[in-house]
Amino acid sequence: MVLLLPCGPLAPLGYPSPMSQLPALAQLLSGRRICTLTGAGTSTASGIPDYRGPGTAARARNPVRFAQFVGDPAWRRRYWARSFSGWPALRDARPNPAHAALARMEGAGLLTGLITQNVDRLHSKAGSVDPIELHGALAEVTCLGCGALSARDALQERLAEANRGWSPPPAPELAPDGDAELDDTGGFVTVDCLRCGGLLKPHVVFFGENVPRERVDRAFAALDAAEVLLVVGSSLTVFSGMRFVKRATTQGTPVCVLNLGPTRGDAEATLCVDADAATALPALATLLGAG
């Protein structure tokens, strides 16, 4: 469903039919250089849950903080046991029509950059070239000792080897960060860096960590080169994403939001479209002449 709402909490009754609102968004974007900022809602149609979407409120989330991960072996065991169970589903997730539409828009030269808060690599799988992965990617692992980067798949093999006798509950539910909802992770064995024996950590920004400055600067450069910011599938609850709305607003760059439900950026947006990204983005791309 696509519904154009004047941004803000009060929505009068009697809107025109939802899909008929996309041309207004296309009109605002047309002929303008676009910077896109995507969030978890872009990937829900690929089977990866979000944190704060419709139906997700009931899910209790307790993501590990950086200090807990580094300071407490029990937290590391919990993290890696859940990640071990959830990784195959995340690794095998396929991009959906929203990712494909953004890749087409990029291919048509409409974008100054694609900034994503997602850690699932689905933009790259859809063909986007060098998306700015603000929070990193679960497909990579970093060593906190020597800084070496390695493939998550290789670690999966090592974890499988070290945990031959350990099996997760059948068909655990995939959780938003590529891990799985597991209650009992006792007995799971973690492994360390093969090169230096240091702690291994997914190459993503944990709560309690900052996004590396160089990444933020690249994302700012993409925004500064744009004439409009298009936010897709993000509640903008996390400052890391919201900062781009703030900067756009400060610079007088219009902001459009395409999201199911309200976001923290609505009050600063020129246009809010309450829509499923996997339905609306392909239609939008077509209206913009990007197939």
Ligand X SMILES: NC(=O)c1ccc[n+]([C@@H]2O[C@H](COP(=O)([O-])OP(=O)(O)OC[C@H]3O[C@@H](n4cnc5c(N)ncnc54)[C@H](O)[C@@H]3O)[C@@H](O)[C@H]2O)c1
> Which of the residues are catalytic?
135
Q: Binding string to ligand X for residues 248 to 267, with x set by CB under 6 A, is what? A: -----------xxx-x----
Three-state SS at 123: helix
Q: Is 119 in the site for ligand X (CB under 6 A)?
A: yes
Rounded to whole angstroms, what are the CA distances from 245 to 8, 92, 259, 270? 15, 32, 14, 11
Q: 14: helix, coil or strand?
A: coil
Output the six-digit token pair for 20. 């008929």
- Residue pair 249/18 in contact (Cβ under 8 Å)? The answer is no
The Cα 83–Cα 261 span in angstroms is 29
Position among 35, 45, 132, 256 found at the interface with ligand X (CB under 6 A): 45
Q: Mark 13-42 with x for binding to ligand X (rule: CB under 6 A) and - for no binding.
A: --------------------------xxx-
Helical pair 277-287 and 22-29, crossing angle rounded to 10 deg = 50
113 binds, among ligand X, Zn ion, none (CB under 5 to 8 A by kind): none
**Residue 63 in contact with Zn ion, rule: CB under 5 A:** no
In the bound state with ligand X, the residue whose beta carbon lies nearer, of 50 and 106, is 50
Binding of ligand X at residue 131 (CB under 6 A)? no
- From the list 67-75, 113-121, 151-159, 179-187, the region that binds ligand X by CB under 6 A is 113-121
CB closer to ligand X out of 43 and 163: 43
- CB contact at 8 A, 53 and 44: yes
Q: By CB under 6 A, name the one of 5, 64, 89, 238 that touches ligand X.
A: 238
Q: What are phi and psi of 132, to 5 degrees?
A: -85, 105
d(CA 81, CA 167): 10
Say which entry of ligand X, Zn ion, none residue 261 contacts (CB below 5 to 8 A, set by partner kind). ligand X
Kindly report the three-state secondary structure assignment for every residue of 54-116: CCCCCCCCCCCEHHHHHHCHHHHHHHHHHHHHHHHHHHHCCCCHHHHHHHHHHHCCCEEEEEE
Q: Which H or E run contains 157?
A: helix 152-162
Give the one residue of 8, 54, 147, 291 binding ligand X; rule: CB under 6 A.
54
Rounded to the nearest whole angstrom, what is the least distance from the CB of residue 271 to ligand X in the complex? 15
281, 232 Cβ separation under 8 angstroms? yes
Q: Does 43 bind ligand X (CB under 6 A)?
A: yes
* Span of 36-44, 69-77, 141-149, 278-286 interacting with Zn ion by CB under 5 A: 141-149
Strand, helix or coil for residue 45: helix
Q: Residue 144, interface with Zn ion (CB under 5 A)?
A: no
**With binding defined as CB under 5 A, does residue 145 bind Zn ion?**
yes
Task: Check residue 193 for interaction with Zn ion (CB under 5 A).
Answer: yes
Residue 94: CB minimum distance to ligand X, A? 13
Site residues, Zn ion (CB under 5 A): 143, 145-146, 148, 193, 195-196, 198
Site residues, ligand X (CB under 6 A): 39-41, 43-45, 48, 50-54, 117-120, 135, 176-177, 233-238, 241, 259-261, 263, 276-278
